[in-house]
Chains A and B, each alone.
Chain A
Amino acid sequence: DMKVTQMPRYLIKRMGENVLLECGQDMSHETMYWYRQDPGLGLQLIYISYDVDSNSEGDIPKGYRVSRKKREHFSLILDSAKTNQTSVYFCASTPGGPTEVFFGKGTRLTVV
C-alpha cells in the first residue's frame, strides 16, 4: 500500500522552541516536498529534495531547514518557531518525471 506518513499529526509549540516534523514514504520515491497551507489558501512550497542530501529551496524557505539522510525519510525543522509559522504542513513525494504527487495527511502546527 503506497503511503506518505507524517508525524505528528498535531503539534503545539511555544514561540522560540525547535520543531521537528517527520515524513516517510514507502514507495522509494526520489523526489519529496514540504508545503505549507494556511487557512483558505493554496499550497506554498518550502523545500524540495531530489534525493539523499540533495535539497533545494522552494518559494518560502526562510525560517525552515530540511534533512534527508535516507531516501524514504524527509524532515522539516523549524529552529526557534514563530507564531506566523502556525499552519498545516504537507509532505509529498513523487517518483519524478511526469507523474502525480502523493501527499501525506498533514501536520497541523500551532505556535503560541
Chain B
Amino acid sequence: GEQVEQRPPHLSVREGDSAVITCTYTDPNSYYFFWYKQEPGASLQLLMKVFSSTEINEGQGFTVLLNKKDKQLSLNLTAAHPGDSAVYFCAVSAMDSNYQLIWGSGTKLIIKP
C-alpha cells in the first residue's frame, strides 16, 4: 500500500528565512494531497489541499509544489515568522485505497527570532 516519508522531522530556521518540508510517496495513482498544521497543544488544521492536476499551489506565505515524476510533495514557507512555528503533516490519498489518507510522520518547525 501507499507509504509516505516526510523529511525532515525537525527544522529550525530564523525569522525571515525560508523553510522546505518534503514528502515522498510511493503510489503513482495518488491524486489528492493535503498539508495540515498543528500548533502547540492544538488540533490539526488544513493548510492546503492539492489535486494532482495542479503542480504549483500558492497560499498566504507558502507554496506547495507537486513533482509527480519523483512522487514528491513539498511545502515551501517563504519569509517565516513566529506564527509558523508548528508541526506540519502531509497526507496523501488515492481512489484505489478508498481515499483513505496516508499520513507523513510530521515535521516540527521552529522559527527563531
- Shortest CB distance A16–B (Å): 29
Let me know if A48 is at the binding interface, CB within 8 A: yes
> Which one of A20-28, A67-75, A93-101 is at the B interface?
A93-101
Residues of B within 8 A of A97 (CB): 99
Residues of B within 8 A of A98 (CB): 31-32, 51, 93, 95, 99
- Shortest CB distance B40–A (Å): 12
Q: Complex Cα distance A72/B45, Å?
A: 20
18 interchain pairs, CB-CB under 8 A: A41-B105, A42-B89, A42-B103, A42-B105, A42-B106, A43-B103, A48-B100, A96-B99, A97-B99, A98-B32, A98-B51, A98-B99, A99-B99, A101-B91, A103-B43, A104-B43, A105-B42, A105-B43
Residues of B within 8 A of A90 (CB): 43-44
Interface of B is mostly: strand
Residue-wise interface mask of A (46-63) relative to B, using a CB-CB cutoff of 8 A (1 in contact, 0 not) = 001000000000000000
Interface of A is mostly: loop
Q: How many residues on A have C-beta within 8 angstroms of the other chain's C-beta atoms? A: 16
- Shortest CB distance A69–B (Å): 23
Residues of B within 8 A of A99 (CB): 49, 99
State the A residues within 8 Å of B (CB).
40-43, 48, 90, 96-101, 103-106
The 4 closest A-B pairs by CB, nearest first: A42-B105, A98-B32, A42-B106, A103-B43
> In the complex the two chains form, is A103's CB within 8 Å of B99's CB?
no
- Shortest CB distance A40–B (Å): 8
Residue-wise interface mask of B (45-71) relative to A, using a CB-CB cutoff of 8 A (1 in contact, 0 not) = 110010100000000000000000000
- Shortest CB distance A49–B (Å): 12
